[in-house]
């Protein structure tokens, strides 16, 4: 069959540009900096990194959930409030000099209540479309927890685990990012049964199992090499819930993006999209690592 003039003149489909080089550039730059912050910098420097991450994540989160009608004044206020709550959590929780106790948790509770009140008042003064106001106010309030309190546990883990703090955070990162790698390769090799097709059509049950195995291996390797005080039972008690939480965190961020028709949370990480896309699993897994290290490790 001969081509029509329109078909003949149509431009050839372009191949999708590979993102391998940008990803490698990001890794080459970011990995040494991250390792320095984990193992050789003052504890406060890593805490500043987490603070910046919480604020960037809050900005991206609000961009996603208010994509229908953005309110930049409220978005900036949400980012500031999220950062403030994250910082106050760092200074309100942790071991004291003489006992393992919580330090004045009312400071944190007061900050969350104050930030919530401030968010309500800012929306009251700046709202444009009353039909979306409850969604946007609820999203801002959720940012305090999702982007503020939960990631802050990484800074607490780094500080409160003492000389092993860097290794505990490294293990948390290896657990969730190793899971991504294991899920990707096992999913490509064996994936047949969809895990959550309405949220993330490419993820499979086989991939999830591969990710779980990769997480267990990551924790086991670090336990054998560095954190030898952990028992084999503790390795499984730590790794399995952390992996499940991480995979759920990944799916939850996918749910947010799908609900609002967004592909990436942002563009700040060269070759990787948004920061929230990179740490969504870590946000859910980090609190478990902190709780486990704090209360289940002698």
Evaluate if residue 42 carries a pLDDT over 80.
yes
The answer to whether 171 touches 160, Cβ cutoff 8 Å, is no
Evaluate if residue 269 carries a pLDDT over 70.
no
Q: Which residue has the tokens 């982007």?
A: 147
Classify 201 as helix, strand or coil. strand
Distance in angstroms (rounded) separating the CA atoms of residues 98 and 288: 25
Distance in angstroms (rounded) separating the CA atoms of residues 97 and 107: 19
Residue 165, C-beta contacts closer than 8 angstroms, at least 6 positions apart: 43, 157, 158, 159
146-198 pLDDT, tens digit per residue, is: 999 999 999 999 999 999 999 999 999 999 999 999 999 999 999 899 999 89
Identify how many contiguous H helices and E strands the chain contains and give both numbers: 11, 2
pLDDT, position 9: 57
Residue 21, C-beta contacts closer than 8 angstroms, at least 6 positions apart: 271
The answer to whether 145 touches 116, Cβ cutoff 8 Å, is no
The tokens for 95 are: 């071991």
Distance in angstroms (rounded) separating the CA atoms of residues 200 and 252: 10
In terms of average pLDDT, the best of 92-96, 108-112, 284-288 is: 284-288
Distance in angstroms (rounded) separating the CA atoms of residues 258 and 204: 18
205-235 pLDDT, tens digit per residue, is: 999 999 999 999 999 999 999 999 999 999 9
Distance in angstroms (rounded) separating the CA atoms of residues 108 and 85: 7
Q: What is the pTM of this model?
A: 0.86
Distance in angstroms (rounded) separating the CA atoms of residues 263 and 224: 39
pLDDT, position 271: 54
Distance in angstroms (rounded) separating the CA atoms of residues 90 and 255: 29
Distance in angstroms (rounded) separating the CA atoms of residues 106 and 89: 10
Q: Which candidate, 144, 76, 138, places its Cα nearest to that of 108?
A: 144
The answer to whether 183 touches 248, Cβ cutoff 8 Å, is no
pLDDT, position 25: 64
Distance in angstroms (rounded) separating the CA atoms of residues 62 and 257: 11
């Amino acid at each position: 069959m001969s081509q029509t003039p329109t078909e003949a003149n149509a431009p050839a489909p372009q191949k999708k540009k590979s993102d391998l080089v940008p990803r490698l550039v990001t890794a080459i730059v970011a990995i040494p900096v991250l390792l320095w912050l984990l193992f050789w910098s003052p504890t406060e420097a890593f805490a500043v990194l987490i603070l910046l991450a919480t604020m960037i994540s809050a900005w991206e989160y609000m961009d996603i959930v208010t994509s229908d009608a953005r309110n930049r004044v409220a978005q900036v206020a949400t980012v500031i409030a999220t950062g403030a709550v994250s910082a106050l959590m760092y200074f309100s929780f942790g071991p004291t000099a003489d006992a393992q106790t919580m330090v004045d948790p009312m400071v944190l509770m007061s900050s969350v209540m104050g930030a919530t009140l401030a968010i309500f008042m800012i929306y009251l003064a700046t709202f444009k479309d009353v039909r979306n106001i409850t969604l946007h106010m609820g999203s801002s309030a959720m940012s305090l927890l999702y982007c503020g309190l939960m990631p802050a546990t990484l800074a607490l883990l780094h500080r409160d685990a003492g000389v092993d703090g860097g290794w505990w955070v490294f293990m948390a990162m290896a657990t969730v990012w190793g899971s991504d790698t294991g899920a990707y390769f096992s999913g490509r090799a064996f994936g047949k049964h969809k895990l959550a097709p309405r949220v993330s059509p490419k993820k499979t049950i086989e991939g999830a199992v591969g990710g779980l195995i990769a997480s267990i291996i990551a924790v086991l390797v670090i336990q054998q090499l560095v954190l030898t005080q952990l028992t084999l039972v503790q390795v499984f008690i730590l790794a399995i819930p952390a992996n499940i939480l991480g995979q759920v965190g990944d799916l939850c961020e996918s749910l947010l993006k799908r609900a609002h028709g967004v592909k990436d949370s942002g563009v700040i990480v060269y070759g990787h999209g948004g920061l929230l896309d990179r740490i969504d699993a870590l946000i859910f897994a980090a609190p478990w690592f902190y709780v486990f290290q704090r209360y289940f490790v002698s």
